[in-house]
Structure 1
Amino acid sequence: MTNASPHDQLMQMICGYQVSQIVLTVGELGLPDLLKQGPTSVEDLAQACSANPDRLYRLLRAAASLGVFTETEPRVFAATPLSEILQSDHPTSLQPLTLMMGSEHYAAWGRLRRAVQSNENEFEQEFGLPFFDYLSQHPESAAIFDAAMTSIHGRETAAILEAYDFSQFGLIADVGGGNGSKLIALLTKHPQVRGMLVDLPHVVERAAPNFVAAGVNERMTLIGGDFFVEVPSGADAYMMRHIIHDWDDEKSTLILKNCRAAMQPGQKLLLVEYVIPSGDEPFFGKLLDLTMMLIPGGKERTEAEYRDLVAGCGFQLQRVIRTDQPISILESTAI
């Protein structure tokens, strides 16, 4: 795209939604899984996914032009490295993220102008509930969300564990830890460390079997609660990954003050977040910031904004640790 003219660059931006909807439809129809066994005719694929053969061919042809599939002979398609990542059983499958981004998220993004011109939460305006309340009442969407977060966070987790020495702590609380994938990886790497998962009761209930399957359940404490009300004490360090970015400053302050109330002076608070750089350089967090605005109502922040935020809650930001992924670890000390 960098070699394209300004006109062509803008055309690609304008038509970007077409690409995301092609990928979504490919995932919804299960085409990546259907092509795992080898090149397959459009007619056989259409029968397998209950599609109109001619219209399906047009979809596949468009997807192949993007590299998602390849047409090996007339009306016969095969998998590519891109489509393999959309297979449901791929170790780092992006199928759940595709389904999530193309459904509720896509609808909320259609309200971007309204969001910029108001102070309303556009997801709530569209679906009638705040995002996390919506998930609690829609188990299928919640399962897709969990799987999507795992696919995103998998690479991040390895980077976090490489960048920071968690072995210095005996018990680590993961506040808002979701399905527990981060704690599972951490406890697997550091067998002497114990973990505490803190999240809403229905989230903790969904996560419990994951710790059993990973063989670390005996080193785990699972606590269902609400971090807007209270954070349990007793851990040596408190960690939150992509939690504070979900909330505005007022609600983030409440969460952080509840963490501080549970901690002793000198204990560590570890926030794993995108830290927005200055300037015009491309950075994924700048786009994710708009998702936070539209869906949960939060925001991505700069280092200075994080420094001020934690300072108002009884912490001092000590350092920002970069990883080999776009995320950073903000290490603060309770004062």
Structure 2
Amino acid sequence: MSTEAAPDEAVDPRTSSAFLVNESLGYLVPAALRAAAVVGVADHLADGPRTPAELAAATRTDARNLHRVLRLLATRGIFEEDDSGRFRLTSAGDTLRSDAPCSARTAVLMNTDRSMWLPTADLSRCVSEGTSAFEHLFGLPFFEYFAQDEETADVFHCGMAAMSDAENEPIAAACDFPPTGTVVDVGGGHGGFLLAVLDRHPGLRGILYDRPHVLAGARLDTPGTAGRWSTASGDFFSGVPEGDVLVLKRIMHDWEDDQCVTLLERCRAALAPGGRLLVVDAVVPPGNAPHQAKALDLLLMAALVGRERTEPEFAGLFEAAGLKLSRVVPTSTVLSVVEAVAA
């Protein structure tokens, strides 16, 4: 008897062909989702089901084509069409409303923006040349382009804030913060995560560190955080403010390994004695199971220069920067807390 592994179960070529053709059409779902988000159709379903004609009148769109978009999204459980031809929002699609708690609308608009969408159509360039497709299409690297295109930058930062809103509280709950001290959120955007941390830990102070134009959207000014936070601006590759706990949330995956080592070195220099660095990012799991990190990794490959990383890859970057990985704390989100201390 042979001891070799059994081959995959034989599949009729016609079945395989139909499967692959169907997979190749998958991009039409996010395209339809973007169309629905752009015209704000979900906002007009908050009070109950409506016909495509009613929705078209409310959104000033074409009824027939809007119906076709909603029909496809109904196959993914975002909307549901009843026997009378009216559409309603499902619980899965409810946060497409702009006024929903933890609204995903601006995150959808960011993920499907042309700055993200167009590079992914050129993944073959990334594979062939080992480089991002973004600069070839837009003439500048990702963040340099954003620096001179205020409208696109606003889409990105608002979208990132929306992506974070649903995950900030559970991640803050999973992190081990000291009762007192200073937390520095490096590249912390509008401050949603730092706000969740300060709300949970009244003895902590926080510093939100980012570029000046990003800090203009800071939302830390609440009664519960009064007097316990400040902002600081600068380039985190040059230096970061000192603190007892430094946080890098969804930052390292934007950059190449050598850039990450530079950033980590700046963080190590800014750590108070006994301090800790918390890298909040997806950790790519082994095996063939689906994970959002495996999909987002391709978006990063196409549009930026970074990548999602495995636990050993994080450990290697920490070691190169004079840090050591102390533990990885999973959360109820797709992100984990990768904790490092001075080596």
**TM-score, scaled to structure 2:** 0.88
User: Deviation of residue 150 (structure 1)?
Assistant: 2.8
1:145 aligns with 2:153: no
Instruction: Give the Cα–Cα distance (whole angstroms) in 2 for the partners of residues 250 and 76 of structure 1.
Output: 54
Instruction: Give the Cα–Cα distance (whole angstroms) in 1 for the partners of residues 338 and 78 of structure 2.
Output: 37
Instruction: Give the Cα–Cα distance (whole angstroms) in 2 for the partners of residues 186 and 45 of structure 1.
Output: 40
Q: Taking structure 1 as reference, are residues 267 and 57 closer, same or farther at Cα in structure 2, changes over 3 Å only? A: closer
The answer as to whether partners of 2:256 and 2:305 remain within 8 angstroms in 1 is: yes
Letter of the aligned partner of 2:145 in structure 1? Y
Output one character per residue of 1:62-113: Cα deviation in whole Å (capped at 9) or x when no partner: 3333333233354433322233220001112211121112222111111111
Letter of the aligned partner of 1:29 in structure 2? V
Letter of the aligned partner of 2:336 in structure 1? S
Q: Taking structure 1 as reference, are residues 43 and 202 closer, same or farther at Cα in structure 2, changes over 3 Å only? A: same
1:33 aligns with 2:43: yes
User: Deviation of residue 298 (structure 1)?
Assistant: 0.4
Equivalent of 1:134 in 141, 145, 149: 145
Output one character per residue of 1:98-155: Cα deviation in whole Å (capped at 9) or x when no partner: 1112222111111111111113321222222222233333333333323322332234
The answer as to whether partners of 1:173 and 1:238 remain within 8 angstroms in 2 is: yes
1:76 aligns with 2:76: no
User: Deviation of residue 313 (structure 1)?
Assistant: 0.8
Q: Taking structure 1 as reference, are residues 314 and 66 closer, same or farther at Cα in structure 2, changes over 3 Å only? A: closer
Question: Equivalent residues in 2 for 1:95-174 (5 A)?
Answer: 95-103=105-113, 104-174=115-185
Letter of the aligned partner of 2:239 in structure 1? E
Q: Taking structure 1 as reference, are residues 155 and 79 closer, same or farther at Cα in structure 2, changes over 3 Å only? A: closer
Partner of 2:238: 229
The answer as to whether partners of 1:67 and 1:82 remain within 8 angstroms in 2 is: yes
Q: Taking structure 1 as reference, are residues 39 and 278 closer, same or farther at Cα in structure 2, changes over 3 Å only? A: closer
Output one character per residue of 1:14-56: Cα deviation in whole Å (capped at 9) or x when no partner: 2111111111111111111122232323223222222222222
Letter of the aligned partner of 2:225 in structure 1? V
Gaps of 5+ in 1: none
Equivalent of 1:197 in 204, 208, 225: 208
Q: Secondary structure at the match of 2:96?
A: coil
**TM-score, scaled to structure 1:** 0.90
Letter of the aligned partner of 1:30 in structure 2? G
Instruction: Give the Cα–Cα distance (whole angstroms) in 2 for the partners of residues 38 and 200 of structure 1.
Output: 42
Equivalent of 2:327 in 283, 305, 319: 319
Name the stretch that deviates more: 69-78 or 321-330.
69-78
Q: Taking structure 1 as reference, are residues 263 and 162 closer, same or farther at Cα in structure 2, changes over 3 Å only? A: closer
Letter of the aligned partner of 1:33 in structure 2? D
User: Deviation of residue 217 (structure 1)?
Assistant: 4.4
Partner of 2:227: 218
The answer as to whether partners of 2:172 and 2:193 remain within 8 angstroms in 1 is: no
Q: Secondary structure at the match of 2:340?
A: strand
Equivalent of 1:62 in 72, 75, 85: 72
Equivalent of 2:199 in 170, 188, 201: 188
Instruction: Give the Cα–Cα distance (whole angstroms) in 2 for the partners of residues 182 and 75 of structure 1.
Output: 42
Q: Taking structure 1 as reference, are residues 167 and 264 closer, same or farther at Cα in structure 2, changes over 3 Å only? A: closer
Letter of the aligned partner of 2:71 in structure 1? R
The answer as to whether partners of 2:209 and 2:231 remain within 8 angstroms in 1 is: yes
Partner of 1:93: 103
Partner of 1:331: 339
Q: Taking structure 1 as reference, are residues 57 and 332 closer, same or farther at Cα in structure 2, changes over 3 Å only? A: closer
Q: Taking structure 1 as reference, are residues 73 and 138 closer, same or farther at Cα in structure 2, changes over 3 Å only? A: farther
User: Deviation of residue 192 (structure 1)?
Assistant: 0.8
Partner of 1:20: 30
1:309 aligns with 2:317: yes
Q: Taking structure 1 as reference, are residues 59 and 163 closer, same or farther at Cα in structure 2, changes over 3 Å only? A: closer
Gaps of 5+ in 2: 1-14
**RMSD after superposition:** 2.1
The answer as to whether partners of 1:184 and 1:214 remain within 8 angstroms in 2 is: no
Q: Secondary structure at the match of 1:81?
A: coil
The answer as to whether partners of 1:246 and 1:298 remain within 8 angstroms in 2 is: yes
Name the stretch that deviates more: 178-187 or 259-268.
259-268
Instruction: Give the Cα–Cα distance (whole angstroms) in 2 for the partners of residues 326 and 75 of structure 1.
Output: 36
Equivalent of 1:267 in 271, 275, 281: 275
The answer as to whether partners of 2:131 and 2:301 remain within 8 angstroms in 1 is: no
User: Deviation of residue 205 (structure 1)?
Assistant: 2.1
The answer as to whether partners of 1:57 and 1:75 remain within 8 angstroms in 2 is: no
Partner of 2:302: 294
Q: Taking structure 1 as reference, are residues 279 and 83 closer, same or farther at Cα in structure 2, changes over 3 Å only? A: closer
Letter of the aligned partner of 1:231 in structure 2? V
Q: Taking structure 1 as reference, are residues 48 and 320 closer, same or farther at Cα in structure 2, changes over 3 Å only? A: same
Output one character per residue of 1:185-207: Cα deviation in whole Å (capped at 9) or x when no partner: 00011111000111112112221
Q: Secondary structure at the match of 2:47?
A: coil
